[in-house]
Chain A
Amino acid sequence: MYRKAFLEILTDLSRRFINMPPEHVDSEIDDAISAVCRRFGLDMGVAWQWSKEMPRYLTITHLYRPPGGSPLPEKIDAEELFPWCMKEVKAGRTIAISVDKAPAEADRDRETWAHYGVRSTAVFPLSPGRGQLIGALSFATIKTFSWSKDIVKELQLVAEIFANALARKYSDQALRESEERLSLASTAAGIGLWILDIKTNQYWATAQALQLFELPPDYKLDLNTFINMVHPEDREKIKEAMRTASQSNDDTRVTYRVVLADGTIRWLVSRGRMQPGTAGDTDKLMGVSLDVTERMEAEVAAKKIQTTVTAILESTQDLIWTVDPERFGLITFNTALAEYFRQGTGLVITEGMSPHDMIGGSFTAATAEKWDRLYERALRHGPYTEEYVVSTGTRVLLLSLNLLKRDGEVFGISVFGKDVTERKRMEKKIEAAALEWQTTFDSIPDMVMILDAERRVIQANRAAWNFLNVPLEETLGRHCHTLMHGEDHPPADCPLARIHEVKNREERDIYDSRTEKWLHVSVDPIFDEKGESVRFVHMARDITASKKAEKDALESRRELLRMQRLFRMGELTASLAHELNQPLTSILSNARAALRFIDSGELDMNELKDILNDIANDDRRAGNIIRSLRAMVKPEDSEKIVISLSDVLHEAVSLFHGEAIIRNIDVDTFFVDPLPGVNIDVVQIQQVLTNLMMNAAESMLAEVQRKIVIRAHIVEGGKVRVTVSDCGPGIADEDLGRIFEPFFTTKRSGLGMGLSLSRSIIEAHGGHMRVENNPDRGATFSFELPLEERNDDRR
């Protein structure tokens, strides 16, 4: 009966467990355990799950036990609570014992059993087909129970049925989980899965796959519809790919465009192969598809960037290239580099060429090694720039090496080579020019400084810092006046005192009392593009010596002039005596007459008054002659005054009067009186006039008609011209050019200085002296003097 009952259960179990859907397995096992326990009078039945992932633990999946008793945890640490049992189960052995008959090594197990009041137990490993252990099935009683061989054997069968069912359930579960994971992953990755039935041309496709075509999840896609959605230009490509795939077992990959309903274009990549294991009579092509629009667009964009970069690289004459970091083979290079080699050594460079592949002509093995070292240096020490003189020495390249990195990994070295030959040449030229400038600057014997608008020294030449007796560095940045004069301000008479008013070159002689030196200083402003004076060239020349020489020369010249005047006086003595004798005669005669009138007692007081007045006038007249004589000979400093030229002419003519009388010469004058003022040294101009009149008189010694004509009139350019004409024989043509030379004379007596000095006097007054022969007779000397500009202020 017992046996029969058990077989019923077993048959029932077997029948139910065949083709049982996985979702029913658990409840069937629950029912089965409970049926077995009741049938055999067992108090507890448990199905445990074990996995490799957690080998110490057992998890209760199914439990039968009557109410009451200690609660069972869902998961137990089997190694801790049932070490012996676990060992036996893992070894695939079945346990069926009374607790008290358990071996000694099961002490810890016994304690656990005692805890739950178990008296006897049976444990069966769950391993489908004697393979992988997936769990255990255990039964227990709280009273003594005798595990007969039959019972154990039968329970063994149950365990096997359970094991198979559970295994199936687990694998089904795993499959479903893996399917879910795949779906989740493919959805997340935007990957669509599909299978094409070649016989029916129908697709099975995941919602994600359909989504790629913007089709609803339940859309039934067929091959024609698919082909129609492919971009017309890519249809052949698709068909070709499908043909290839159907004739091999390998993956076939194709990238193509589809045109969506709204007209947008989407790039897809599909990978497919024939369904495995069905090769030969294939009817299913399975595969995945992926939206790569972004990538393709990125690629297009990248290509655009690439094109732009290439255009940039090609647009420059500079050499640009990249090499790999292992053997320094060319990765990319621009035409400029290619041209560099083509023209240099005739080499046509190609990708991958290392320096050693480029050897030829002037690019020697040594050059190649040099290049290697350049690259190695970049790899070792990072980016750098250096000037590189090419092997022929004719060109200079400025090389900038940089490292190309991706994720911190160096994948190349980029080189930018700028041909700086011309620049270097210019630099050399500029250097040479600068040196030339500096040398020139320093060789100027005058002090030259370049000042900023604040009068601070920017540059000073050797003469300057030598004069200042300080090294160049100490002059820079300091104020000119501090250095030169030790003052806080420039001297008032220095043009720098009014630095911002200086618009043109200004120069002046200034006296520096500190060094007791005369300096000739000049200031030339340098203008910026806005026309503002920003810098000044300040020159100073020590003219102390020449000042002294000038003074000496002035003194000797003055002495010479005086000598000439004295000499002239000597010549004029006779006529001067005549001039003095006239008033003396009058005075004496008047005095005698008066005395006689008194003696005769016929004195008329009015007469006497007249006589005395006349005496006084003649005395004054004599005094004037003496005074003008004294003026002619005194060695006083020259003094310029503004005076009407007519006054000067009158006095000169009157001084010459006696001479004219003695020599029987008529002196005619033609000029308006008064003439405008001139700023002159009267004595010197008198000297000139006297010289000219004396020369005129001398020239007419042999003439019967003797006449001197003096004219004066205003001429253009604010000048007055004075002419002195004689009617002598004129001047021989060969003498005209030499007549103003010193010591030139045609007279038997004479210094030969008169005309030379006269001309120098006139020129010192800013005028000119000329001579020409008259058309009829005689010669005319003329000179011009500038009129005083402020004539209005006069008189």
Chain B
Amino acid sequence: MMTEDEPVVFVIDDDASVCKSLMRLLRSFGYEARAFHSAEHFLEQVPFQGTGCIILDVRMPGIGGMALQDKLGKTEDSLPVIFITGHGDIPMSVQAMKKGATDFLPKPFEDGQLIDAVVKAVEKSRQIRMSCNELNNLRMRLDRLTPREREVLPYIIAGLLNKQIAFKLNIAEKTIKVHRAHIMEKLGVGSVAELVRLAEKANIEPYDQRS
């Protein structure tokens, strides 16, 4: 687990001049900024674990901004992305926002616009970072469950009674009751409702009664 340092702003733009000027601007606002002239260069980096955001040019030779967003979006702790483009059009910005971009700035933009976006993105990053920590915590707790308990969990969060679960799994109702108690204890929750919220966070699907 890494310590939470000052946020870092990554500027990815094939235009060296744009990169340089944005670095300056960010620096004037007290941000640490790092520039990359292509997506490929950025990906070569050791994955960044801290808070921060990416200012990403949409159109670049090679891997473009949108493609890079797709790649980065697959990890839970990805940095928020602020798209900048010299050729802003609405369909593209909509698509970008859907994919989780925090902002879409058409070039040229005022420093205030950029900084507002950066502040927002860094905040988001921080939250992501925090929830990410929470999730890690949860996962560690889930890891403590036995395979049998792991098997029972979906039935519990689906709201089935012990009897029903026992029938479904063809084991004794009493055993189910023990499992339920252990699960509640291991995961540190006091109610089923709490358990359901936690499972949801951990992406554990409840048992589908229709199946």
Q: Which residues of A contact B (CB under 8 A)?
A: 574-575, 577-590, 592-593, 596-597, 600, 611, 614, 617-618, 621, 658, 660-662, 664, 666
Contact = CB atoms under 8 A, between A and B. Distances in A.
B25 A582 contact: no
Given A588-B110, A593-B28, A664 B64 contact: yes
Interface string B153-185: 000000000000000000000000000000000
Contacts of B27: 593
Contacts, number: 94
B138 interface: no
Given A614-B20, A618-B17, A589 B25 contact: yes
14 contacts: A574-B87, A578-B86, A581-B87, A582-B17, A585-B21, A589-B21, A589-B24, A596-B25, A600-B28, A611-B24, A614-B17, A614-B21, A621-B17, A661-B14
Contacts of B24: 589-590, 593, 611
Interface in B1-51: 14-15, 17-18, 20-22, 24-25, 27-29
Interface stretch (B55-63, B126-134, B141-149, B200-208): B55-63
Interface in B92-143: 106-111, 114
Contact of A597 (B22, B28, B60, B62): B28
A267 B34 CA distance: 149
Interface residues of B, number: 28
A582 B58 CA distance: 12
Contacts of A589: 18, 21-22, 24-25, 108, 111, 114
Nearest to B105: A585
Instruction: Tell me what chain A mostly uses at the interface: helix, strand, loop, or mixed.
Output: helix
Q: Which 3 A-B pairs give the minimum distances between C-beta atoms? A: A581-B86, A578-B86, A589-B21
Contacts of B20: 586, 614
Contacts of B15: 582, 586
A618 B87 CA distance: 18
Nearest to A580: B86
A577 B86 CA distance: 7
A593 B114 CA distance: 12
A213 B60 CA distance: 144
B87 A586 contact: no
Contacts of A597: 28
Nearest to A574: B87
Contacts of B108: 581, 584-585, 587-589
A281 to B, nearest CB: 163
A509 to B, nearest CB: 50
Contacts of A590: 21, 24-25
B59 A592 contact: no
> Most chain-B Cβ atoms within 10 A of its Cβ — which of A585, A587, A588?
A585
Given A585-B18, A586-B17, A579 B86 contact: yes
Contacts of B60: 661
Contacts of B87: 574-575, 577-578, 581, 658, 661-662
A3 B84 CA distance: 207
Nearest to B24: A593
A611 B23 CA distance: 12
B59 A664 contact: yes
B126 to A, nearest CB: 24
Contacts of A586: 15, 17-18, 20-21
Nearest to B22: A589
A583 B64 CA distance: 20
A142 B59 CA distance: 191
Nearest to B111: A592
A580 B18 CA distance: 12
Nearest to B85: A578
A662 B25 contact: no
B28 A596 contact: yes
B63 to A, nearest CB: 10
Given A578-B59, A585-B108, A589-B21, 19 more contacts: A577-B87, A581-B86, A581-B108, A582-B15, A582-B107, A586-B17, A586-B20, A587-B108, A588-B111, A589-B18, A590-B21, A592-B25, A593-B111, A596-B111, A611-B24, A614-B21, A660-B61, A661-B59, A664-B59
A590 B110 CA distance: 11
Nearest to B63: A664
Nearest to B29: A596
> Most chain-B Cβ atoms within 10 A of its Cβ — which of A578, A589, A590, A593?
A589
A413 B14 CA distance: 119
B104 to A, nearest CB: 14
A713 to B, nearest CB: 24
> Most chain-A Cβ atoms within 10 A of its Cβ — which of B22, B61, B107?
B107
A697 to B, nearest CB: 13
A593 B86 contact: no
A583 B59 contact: no
Given A592-B28, A596-B29, A661 B111 contact: no
> Most chain-A Cβ atoms within 10 A of its Cβ — which of B20, B21, B106?
B21
Contacts of A580: 86
A575 B58 CA distance: 13
Contacts of A600: 28
B118 to A, nearest CB: 13
Nearest to A598: B28
A577 B109 CA distance: 14
Contacts of A584: 107-108
Contacts of A575: 87
> Most chain-B Cβ atoms within 10 A of its Cβ — which of A575, A583, A593, A611?
A593
A574 B61 CA distance: 17
B25 A593 contact: yes
> Most chain-B Cβ atoms within 10 A of its Cβ — which of A584, A586, A618, A658?
A586
Contacts of B107: 578, 581-582, 584-585
A583 B107 CA distance: 10
A583 B17 contact: yes
Given A575-B87, A578-B87, A582-B86, A666 B21 contact: no
Contacts of B29: 596
B28 A662 contact: no
Contacts of B106: 581
Interface string B67-83: 00000000000000000
Contacts of A581: 86-87, 106-108
A586 to B, nearest CB: 4
Nearest to B27: A593
Contacts of A582: 15, 17-18, 86, 107
Nearest to B17: A586
Nearest to A597: B28
A586 B19 CA distance: 8
B61 A661 contact: yes
A287 B28 CA distance: 170
Contacts of A662: 59, 87
Contacts of B18: 582, 585-586, 589
A597 B60 CA distance: 30
A617 B64 contact: no
A585 B110 CA distance: 9
Contact of B86 (A596, A658, A666): A658
Contacts of A577: 86-87
B38 to A, nearest CB: 12
Contacts of A660: 61
B204 to A, nearest CB: 36
A614 B85 CA distance: 20
A16 to B, nearest CB: 180
A661 B64 CA distance: 9
A586 B85 CA distance: 13
B96 to A, nearest CB: 14
Contacts of A592: 25, 28, 110-111
A452 B29 CA distance: 93
Nearest to B16: A586
A617 B18 CA distance: 12
A617 B111 contact: no
A760 B100 CA distance: 50
A620 B87 CA distance: 21
A597 B21 CA distance: 13
